[in-house]
Amino acid sequence: MVAVDTIVDEIEALKQNRRAMILAHHYQEAEIQEIADSIGDSLELARVAQRFEGDVIAFCGVKFMAETAKVVNPTRVVVLPDLNAGCSLVDSCPAPAVHAYKKRNPDHVVVSYINTSVEVKAESDILCTSRNAVAVVNSIPASRHVLFLPDVNLGNWVKKQTGRENMTIWQGACIVHATFPGRRLAAARSEHPQAVVAAHPECPGDVLRQADFIGSTSAIIDWCAKQPQDEFIIMTESGVRYSLEKQSPGKKFYFVANENCNCSECPYMKMNTLEKLRDCLQTLQPRIELPPEIIERARIPLDRMLALK
Ligand code: 13P
Ligand code: SF4
């Protein structure tokens, strides 16, 4: 087996030769985050990808995130260490089903979570992430009916935050967050009575009701750093531990296992490895290739979202 240091050196050399940038989502393995040029939530990474002026974006995240990078910056080569790094939310929402819904309801405004395929993005009026979903829905005139897709928990939370009645919510779910049980969180709270709770809005309602803070991965990390408390129960994927401990040295973070894998890891995010990252920088494969017509159509709702502050 090749030593980690050797692979890291190889990646650094390839990065220079390829004029490449490595982006990593907070759910990546710590050793990948260590070597990344930028770490962030899905919105932050989309913005960094949009501004990139080099040649190659190596996207350490899942496929919909790499596709987003390609849409916002189509002349760059975008590689993903493992093309099978998917997302259960993407799988829950096929583009033909969205197309058929639009035919039946031509007056509805389609708000799509960024966790969708590029084909679904192309069917959408505006996109959102967990960071800006409330602001995006609030930007739509109250008289318009909204179809929010595909995450049911995020949709229910946004509906509550915005007080919006005329909103249809798709019934998709994240295999990691949607299977965090409220009773396991309640048990963790009894075990750590000093701890405060931060949760991602993809968690079910009985988890969100117990949370002191609800936000995107980066928002959770920033919030924990600002709090006076020293102990936190974190209801999201455990990869965030890397930035939590960096930004909040000395504080304690507890994770709750879900009922899907009895862990708090996203199996798709964890498909990427340092070896696969090195290989994709070497071969520029697997590469995100999208038809120009799809890029053009998906770009419109993406730009609408990025234009919002
Ligand atoms: P963020 O937008 O908070 O990074 O979340 C993306 C995601 O896939 C959560 O499961
Ligand atoms: Fe998709 Fe859930 Fe994994 Fe996020 S954690 S990438 S929503 S499966």
Which one-letter DSSP state was computed for residue 52?
Answer: -
On the question of a cis peptide bond just before residue 193, with omega within 30 degrees of 0, the verdict is no
Ligand 1 centroid, distance to 200 Cα (angstroms): 8
Give me the CATH topology for the region 89-175: Rossmann fold (3.40.50)
Kindly state the average pLDDT of the residues 136-140.
Answer: 97
Beta carbons within 8 Å of 306's beta carbon, 6+ residues apart: 46, 47, 50, 72
Task: Return mean pLDDT, the chain.
Answer: 97
Q: In what order do the strands lie in the sheet containing 196-199?
A: 213-214, 196-199, 231-235, 252-255
4-85+269-289 is classed CATH 3.40.50.10800: yes
Kindly state the average pLDDT of the residues 84-112.
Answer: 98
Neighbour tally for 35: CB within 10 Å: 19
Boundaries of CATH 3.40.50.10800 in the chain? 4-85+269-289, 89-175, 177-255
Percent of the chain with pLDDT over 70: 100
Which one-letter DSSP state was computed for residue 177?
Answer: G
* Residue 224 to residue 219: CA distance in whole angstroms: 9
* 252 bridge partner residues: 231
Give me the CATH topology for the region 177-255: Rossmann fold (3.40.50)
Write the residue with the smallest CA distance to atom 7 of ligand 2.
174
Confidence of residue 309 (pLDDT cuts 50, 70, 90): confident
Q: Is 115 in the pocket of ligand 1 (CB under 6 A)?
A: yes
**Contact of 235 with 256, CB cutoff 8 Å:** yes
- DSSP, collapsed to helix, strand or coil, labels residue 58 as strand
Ligand 2 centroid, distance to 17 Cα (angstroms): 32
Ligand 1 centroid, distance to 232 Cα (angstroms): 19
**Contact of 195 with 229, CB cutoff 8 Å:** yes
Kindly state the average pLDDT of the residues 225-234.
Answer: 98
Kindly state the average pLDDT of the residues 211-222.
Answer: 98
Neighbour tally for 256: CB within 10 Å: 23
CA distances from 2 to 82, 260, 271, 274, 276 (A): 19, 33, 19, 11, 13
Ligand 1 atom nearest to CA at 217: 3
